[in-house]
Structure formats: structure tokens, C-alpha cells
Chain A
Amino acid sequence: MLPRAVTGVGVTSIVGVGWPAFVEALRAPQPLTATGPRALTTIDLAKYPNARAFEVPDFDAARTLGPKGLRTLDRLTKLAVVAARLGLAEAALKRDNAFVALSPERVGVVCSNAYGSLEAITELNRVAKLEDPRYINPAVFPNTVANSASGYVSIWENLRALNVAISDGNCGALDAVACADIHLAQGRADAILVGGAEAMHEALFLAFSLLGTLDHPDHVRQVGHLSLGEGAAFLVVEPQRIARARGARVLGEIVGYGTSFEAPEEGSTLIGPSGDALGRAVLNALGDAKLDPSDVDVVCASLSGLHRADEAERAALERVFGSDGVCVAAPKLVLGETLGAGGAFGMAAALAWLEGARPATVVSGHAPDEIDTVVVTSLGFYGNASAVVLRRPQG
């Protein structure tokens, strides 16, 4: 791929809302395994007193979006729209929510999300089951389609170029980069909001809990479980010449993408994170960027604490970078596992490091004083894996 400029980032994360707050939080990261239980609004702590799930604290979309029109929006959409609005302002495309650069017809969205609006779907299933299918709220029904949060970003932000929703589990936000790159190459937009969103919900928490993947207070510090988080992150991605022409500040450049898939063995269960796929994805991304493994300063890994997946990823990174190799950092230990948004948070963390923040939660190796090149990885639960290469802006 041609290098793409990242000119702004917007986040709604469990460590803060907005790019400055996010970078600040990453300067002094607090691993979630060392964090006590927090108040939750999406999960009834009376029912699950030991729930260790992490929300964007005190999230109030009205602070960014104003009070009007929020009533029928679900949490997923609010997290996404707030992140999008903050990102567009950060990139100086908008001021006070009005375009000051480029035009609405030339700005698009590629948004990853893994599981759709469980809030809307579960609510309507509840009404249909316990009451009557004729009572389901027609204003909520459109939120059940998997692209609704992505669609609302275009509606709220008045973005009328393409809008693509992508659902590739944990890899979606990195695959969104490939998708956006292709659409930019075809001249379908001058800038694209690229990222992902995932919202905490009781059904999500229960599913991961029932599958035995979640941290539990009885073994808070025990390795082997992930901390479920939520949030949204969008990068404003532009062709270099457009960013240059409008005099935009460039936080970093996306210079390579790779992906791969390795089927779990026949007859095995569905879940089978593949280290081989991850290794190939990293090499494909480096090949795409015309870089070698030795050019990489830090790997922003998708290590989440989930033992089986982490083992596969660590082994793959060792095969690619050598055993005494590269610095590996795991921001999910601070930001939580945010699934469809995970890769977007990985890229946001990488950009924070390129801006001078020290890498959060280094799990092996040492970060060099100056970080120029970062590989971000995403390992899917089902055999897919993707990687993206970011570097400090050249010249």
C-alpha cells in the first residue's frame, strides 16, 4: 500500500475520552489486573457482584454531542459517534462540528464491530419473548442490523462518501485499514474515519464468562484470562498528498497491511487462534511496507491475557523477530479486550508511542528511546490474524 497519513484520532476508552486524555493515560498505565472492581452501568452488580468488566467511566454522550436525538441510540452507537466527532476535530477537518477542510461528500467511514448491538437485539428478543412481538419498539429495530453504529456515524457527522461496516471479530479494525486503503486508492474519498467500536453489555459479559475467558476476583492476578473492556477509536486516514495540501498535522503513517488465515484442525471446536496465521500476517504487512523484521522498534501485540491465544502469538512473534528480539507491548492489559475495536486501540497506542509516550505494558524486550516503526497485531479467535505497520511521518 501507499503510505497513508493519520491526521487525527478520536477515542472513547476505559482510560479516558479524547486523544489528549488517552495519550496522558498511556504515559502512566495501570494494568487492569491490578485494578479493583469499578462501578458499572451496563451490568447489574447485584446480579454479578464479582463482575470484572470495564466500561468507559461516566460516559455521557451528551457532553460531546449535545442532549438532542440521543434517546434511541444504543451505547455502541454513542461510543462510536463521540469517538468519530472527537477524531474529526482532532484532525482539523471540523471545528464546532462544521467542516473546515475537505467536504462531506469526500469523507467516509470504515467501522469494525464484532458482535453488533447486543443491547438492541437482546432488548427486542426480550420484548418478543416475554411480552409480544407486536410490542417491539420500531425506533430500536433499525439498531439490530450489524452496520447501524457505522451508519449513525455518517448520519451524525454528515459524512456522505462510502460507509463500510466490517465484522472480522478481533481483526476487524485492522482489516478496516485494508478496506480504507483500497477505497482511497480508488479515489472514493479524500479522508476516511477508520476504526472500530464495541460496547459492554450483560450478554457480552455473560458469553465470555460462560466460555471461561474472563478474569475472576479469586484469581485476579492469575495469568490466563482476559479483562473485557469497551470503547471506540477512529483514525482519520488520508492520502499523503491530501494531508499535505491542507497542511494537516500528521501523527503517523500507515505503511503496510497483512492478513492470513489458518483453519483449526478438522473436527476441532470453532475456536483456534493460529500463531502461524499471525506470523504470516506480520510478514505480509512488513512485505507490503517493504520493511524487514529488523526495522521494527515495537510490536503492539494483541496479547490480552487469554492463555491459549497469547501463547500462540508469543511463539509466532519469536519466530518472526527472533528470540532475543523485538520489544513487545500489550496495551490490552491496560485498555481491556475490546474485540472489534481492539486493532483501532492498538493503532491509537502505537501513534501515542510515535508521539513520544513510552509503550504501555512491555511484556518482553526493551523499547528504544526513539520509536519510529511499530507493528500492530490482531489475533482472531477463529484462525484469522491481521497486522498493520505504522511509522513516524517521513520528512
Chain B
Amino acid sequence: MTADDPTRSPPSPAAPARVLVTGLGVVSSIGLGRRAFFEALAAGKSGISRVESFDTTRIGRDYGGEVKAFHARDHLTAAETRRMGRCSAMALAAARMAVEDAHIRPSHLGGPRTSVVLGTTMGEADVLGDIDRAWIARGVSAVRRAHLPKYGSTLLPIHLARAFGTEGAVIALPAACAAGNYAIGFGADLIRQGRADVVLAGATEILQELQYSGFARLAAMAQQRCQPFDLNRQGLIVGEGAAVLVLESEAHAVRRGATACAEVGGYGLTCDGYHITRPHPEAVGSIEAMRQAITRSGVTPEAIDFVNAHGTGTRANDAAEAKVMHDVFGGRRVPISSMKSLIGHCMGAASAIEAVGCVFTLETGVFPPTAGYETPDPECDLDVVANAARTAPGGVANIVLNNSLAFGGYNAVACFARPGVLPEPPTLEVL
């Protein structure tokens, strides 16, 4: 090993690379994998059902976006299943689907030029929950030692790195409900800065008792339906799932003859610095995050064809998001829709799964529907894609935004575009 080690990173390129999405994988309550998921989005299928994985009788709510069709063993080896919890297992399954979708060979993934970046809210909270419950109810001797090392969120990307033989950065970004956009944005940055050629980027979250109880206790949870932007919306429905995108530098994709399904544009990142759960009353951080996503993609608000909403279905969020839309787009009514009406709020995984929804829109020219939209709310005066999927004008959507506005005042907005439609990436100011 010497300083001339070939594994060391090459210097940053002068012109930032375009970042392409060349594959996607998704584990969701409306389908596993690209095909099932896209068909379900087009059909407006609901994944919300009665929760079965834990006892809800004392919680006062019993519906969620539980992924009942996911069985780790269908996607993982026996050894992998033993050494990881459900949260990691869903991420690894989504990653395997994404790698297959990208037709990328293991030799293109192994080594120091591939990184893994995954977001989450609470990671393997069930692992910790089991440990806590055994310890609390039956004492230290009831804790299973083998369970302990499975908890840390750092493991989420590490399980993927291990499965694919990657040697680049392994990064876990817990960014509450904005985690998916954080991971995809940062993954794209690693490529733009020349620190990676390929990044497996996404997010994962499980439905679990503590988070479910917490949202019920915050009185933020609807009974059976999540109805974003509707006058009578009752709150969110908690969901779960995972999504992983294969991000590649354009040069790398061209070299291996890959087909891109989308380009990752710029993204906006701000913090309200206001309150841990409530959005800022003036929504300044959210507005700034959307504006950053647009300008950092080298376009203007007029170029945006569709917004995949954060749209949780709570009174406060949806009203704030409507205000943000008006501030950013002025009088122009840009179509907006919330997939959370179909799959619930998948927390950390939400914006990663919704990013896959953005790719769906770019590939098909179809906006996914917002289910349960019955009575317009004057406070949310928006062009909501109500109840049925809608074909974009001319059948083509070129540039879309993916909103996430989260706990902790975390705002992350990502831009995705059909390959080739964005202008050359702006040369980075040397700072």
C-alpha cells in the first residue's frame, strides 16, 4: 500500500458531472419492484389496510400502509436474513431490484468508486424495541446479546455495501421525513464532486409500534384514510417501505451503455430552525428549499411540470405547502399530487419512494392521483390530481419536483428531469 494506491479518489473534475438515474427498486404497500409499483400508481391503488404486525388495540388507531407482501427471505440469503432487521432487509431488497433494473454488472459496483447513501427516521427501531421490551419486562438476562449489534442506523448502508462489494463511502442520513431526498441529493453530490461514479441512494423505514403510537398521541393520525389537501382531511396514515435508486455519472453510464430513466437535477436544503414538529408559520425555509431546487437545476419555475407533494394530510402541513406553492409559482397552477394518500407516510422512506414516483411521471407522462380528494379546501387552493391519474399536457412531463418538509424543520426538495432536458449543470463556484 503506497500513496500511489490506485484506489484513492481522483481529483474533482472541472465540469460537474450530470447525474443519471439508471435503475430503481421499491418495496411498498402497493407493490414490490418497478412494474407492480408503476401499475399501482397509474391505477391509484391503495396500500392502506388494517395493521397486523403489532397489537393496536390500545393505540386508538389501526390502519397503516403496511407492506404485507414483503418477506425478507424472498430477497435475501438465509445469512443476510439472520444478521439484519426488517428495515435493512427492505432496503437491501429494494437495492437488489434497482441493480437488476439498471442492468449493472457486479464488476461495475465493486470497489472504491461506488458509494451507498441511505436515509431513515428511526432505522431498526423494532430491534431496539424488542431489546427494550425484554429488558423492561424481564430484566437484563432476557436481552438477546446477538440482537444488540443489529441496531445502529449505520448498518443500513453497510448491509448494502457488503452485499454488492462496494468500498466507497457508506453513509446513513437520518433526516426524519426528508431522508430520501437527503440521501439522493447527497449521493448526486458525491458524483458531481468526483468522489464516486455510482451511488446506491435511497431510504428505508418500517412501520413500528413506537412511531405509530407517537403519531396517534400527537393527534396527527387519521382513522382510515389519508386525504391530502381535502377540506376534511383528518391527518396522516403511517406507512413503511424502501426505495433505492442507482445514480451514475453520465460518463460511467455511457461507458457501460446504460439507459437512463431520469436525470437528478439540483436540490434545495434548508432548516426552519423554528420548532421540532411544527412548520414555520411563514414557511420561509420550505419556499427557499423549493427555489434552490429550481435554480440549482438551471431552470425557472415556469419549467416545472408537476410537484410530487410532501402532502401528509395534516391540517398544518398541507396548508403550509399550499402557501409555498403559491409563493414559488405565483398565479400558475402547477399540478400537485400526494402519493401518501395511497401508501401512507413512509417517514424516512417517503421521499425516496416518491422519487420513484417522480421517475414514473417522467417515464410515462402521467401524474399519480391523490386519493380521497373530495372537498377542495380554500386554504389549499391547488391543482390537485384528484382521485384518478392524469396524463400530462401533451403526454409529456419533462421536469418535476419532489417535496419533503420534515420534523426538525428539515426541508429538502429535489428536482428530477427526463434525460437531456436540463441545461448543462452550472459550473461550481470555487469556494
Q: A: which residues have CB within 8 A of B?
A: 2, 104-105, 108-109, 114-116, 118, 121-122, 124-126, 128-130, 132-134, 136-138, 141-148, 150-152, 154-155, 157-169, 171-172, 175, 178-179, 182-188, 203, 206-207, 210-211, 239, 241-242, 258-264, 266-267, 269-271, 277, 279-280, 283-284, 286-288, 292-293, 319-320, 380-384
Contacts and interface: CB of A to CB of B under 8 A. Distances in A.
Given A133-B209, A134-B217, A155-B409, A146 B121 contact: yes
B173 A166 contact: yes
A287 B152 contact: no
Given A145-B408, A147-B174, A260-B167, A185 B428 contact: yes
Contact of A109 (B2, B129, B155, B271): B271
A148 B276 contact: yes
B175 interface: yes
Interface of B: 1-3, 5, 7-9, 58-60, 79, 83, 112, 120-123, 125, 128-129, 131-133, 135-137, 140, 143, 145, 148-155, 158, 161-162, 165-176, 182, 186, 189-190, 193, 195, 209-211, 213-214, 216-219, 269-277, 285, 288, 296, 407-410, 428-431
A166 B269 contact: no
30 contacts: A115-B152, A116-B123, A122-B132, A122-B136, A124-B214, A125-B136, A136-B210, A138-B214, A138-B219, A144-B122, A146-B121, A147-B176, A151-B407, A152-B408, A161-B270, A164-B175, A167-B172, A171-B154, A178-B169, A184-B431, A185-B431, A203-B131, A206-B135, A206-B143, A211-B149, A259-B169, A261-B167, A280-B167, A283-B5, A284-B5
B288 to A, nearest CB: 8
Contacts of B176: 145, 147, 151
B247 to A, nearest CB: 14
Contact of A163 (B125, B154, B408): B408
Contacts of A167: 123, 152-154, 172-174
Given A154-B273, A287-B5, A125 B132 contact: yes
A151 B123 contact: no
B75 to A, nearest CB: 17
Given A108-B271, A145-B122, 16 more contacts: A115-B151, A116-B174, A125-B128, A125-B133, A144-B122, A158-B273, A160-B270, A163-B271, A175-B171, A183-B189, A206-B140, A206-B143, A261-B166, A261-B169, A261-B170, A382-B152
Contacts of A203: 131-132, 135
Contacts of B140: 206, 210
Contacts of A145: 121-122, 174, 176, 407-408
Nearest to B148: A207
A38 B209 CA distance: 37
Given A151-B271, A154-B273, A283 B8 contact: yes
Contacts of B431: 2, 184-185, 187, 239, 241-242
Contacts of B172: 166-168
Contact of B148 (A178, A210, A283): A210
Contacts of A104: 273
- What 7 A-B pairs are tightest by C-beta distance, nearest first? A151-B408, A146-B174, A287-B8, A169-B154, A163-B271, A141-B214, A133-B213
B426 to A, nearest CB: 10
B132 A383 contact: no
Q: Which of B5, B133, B153 neighbours the largest number of chain A CB atoms within 10 Å of its CB?
A: B153
Contacts of B210: 121, 124-125, 128, 136, 144
Contact of A267 (B79, B125, B219): B79
A161 to B, nearest CB: 7
A128 B56 CA distance: 11
Among A118, A125, A142, A184: residue with most chain B CB under 10 A: A125
B106 to A, nearest CB: 13
A6 B430 CA distance: 18
A284 B120 CA distance: 28
Contacts of B133: 125, 129
Contact of A261 (B79, B135, B158): B158
